[in-house]
Amino acid sequence: MAAPTTTSAKEKKDAKEQATVKEVVVEEKGNEKEPAVTASTSTTTEVAKEPAKEKEEKEEKEEKKAKEEREEKEEKEEKEEKEEKEKERETKKDKEAPAPVIDMDTFSQILEMDDDDTHEFSLSIVENYMDQAQTTFQQMEDAISEKNLPQLSVLGHFLKGSSAALGITQVQTGCELMQHYGQLHRGASGQRLQSQEALDMIKKLLPKIKDGHVEADKWLKDFYGVETWQPAEGAAPEDDK
């Protein structure tokens, strides 16, 4: 029988040292790899997140810009629509507006006759007209009651001229119509009217003429700063019988 192999103390020590060295090497290698892998993974994640964040911010900016452009466009369209409606209202208002109470081009010519700022001369003309107008309106009422169309035509012609001289347009226009109706004409060259038809038209017309006179009366009182007119001489022409 062979004698058992005996391992010396030195061999055991060497073997143990070699094993320890191997473990250290393996451990060091393992420690070196792990940080490398971790760093690589972290960098990759950060790189991936960065473009995503930039893309998100870019999309938000584009969306915000698009929203602002839409709001600006809507505001512009709303403004244009509002201006268009306002223009239409003004146009409609101009078409429906009644004749001006006083034609300033005509009235200014009367004012030019004044010697100073007191307007004493033009005031006397206006006061004379107002007195004549009141007398003429009463004569028109009487002529309607009498169904006197020729006299209504004469009175209309008379007050038309007086009101035109002062630029009292509504009275002028109404009295001109009365002049034609009294002659049994619908207008200056209109169709012929029957007597009763003409009389009925004058009955409806006279209140409108008086309304125009009231408006002019108020405007002129405000202009001259008076509350009442002083009595003036002069009257409408008498009926020729």
In a domain, 11, yes or no: no
Task: Decide if pLDDT at 4 tops 70.
Answer: no
Q: What is the C-alpha to C-alpha distance for residues 83 and 73, in angstroms, rounded to an integer?
A: 15
**Residue 32, C-beta contacts closer than 8 angstroms, at least 6 positions apart:** none
For Cα atoms 195, 198, 200, give the angle at the middle one, nearest 5 degrees: 110
Q: What is the C-alpha to C-alpha distance for residues 127 and 222, in angstroms, rounded to an integer?
A: 14
In a domain, 46, yes or no: no
Q: Mean pLDDT in the chain?
A: 80
Give residue-wise pLDDT tens across range 69-103: 999 899 888 888 887 777 666 555 444 445 578 99
In a domain, 213, yes or no: yes
Answer whether 137's CB lies under 8 Å from 163's CB: no
**130, 131, 127, 151: which is closest to 140 by C-alpha?**
151
Q: Compute CA 148 distance to the chain's CA centroid, rounded to the nearest angstrom.
A: 50
Radius of gyration of the chain (CA): 53
Mean pLDDT of 101-122: 91
pLDDT for res 189: 74
In single-letter form, the type of residue at position 41 comes to T
pTM of the model: 0.56
**229, 238, 78, 52: which is closest to 142 by C-alpha?**
238
Give residue-wise pLDDT tens across range 120-154: 999 999 999 999 999 999 999 999 999 999 999 99
Q: Domain holding 200: CATH number?
A: 1.20.120.160
Task: Decide if pLDDT at 199 tops 60.
Answer: yes
**Residue 154, C-beta contacts closer than 8 angstroms, at least 6 positions apart:** 182, 237, 239, 240
pLDDT for res 146: 97
Q: Compute CA 236 distance to the chain's CA centroid, rounded to the nearest angstrom.
A: 47
- How distant, in Å, are the alpha carbons of 107, 155, 214, 215 from that of 168? 8, 16, 11, 9
In a domain, 136, yes or no: yes
Task: Decide if pLDDT at 234 tops 50.
Answer: no
In a domain, 40, yes or no: no
In a domain, 121, yes or no: yes
Number of domains in the chain: 1
pLDDT for res 28: 54
Helix locations, the chain, DSSP H: 9-96, 104-111, 120-146, 149-166, 169-182, 195-224
In a domain, 93, yes or no: no
> Which residue do the tokens 């038809």 mark?
197
In a domain, 138, yes or no: yes
pLDDT for res 37: 46
Give residue-wise pLDDT tens across range 8-51: 666 666 666 666 655 544 455 555 544 444 545 555 555 566 67
Range of the structural domain that residue 197 is part of: 104-224
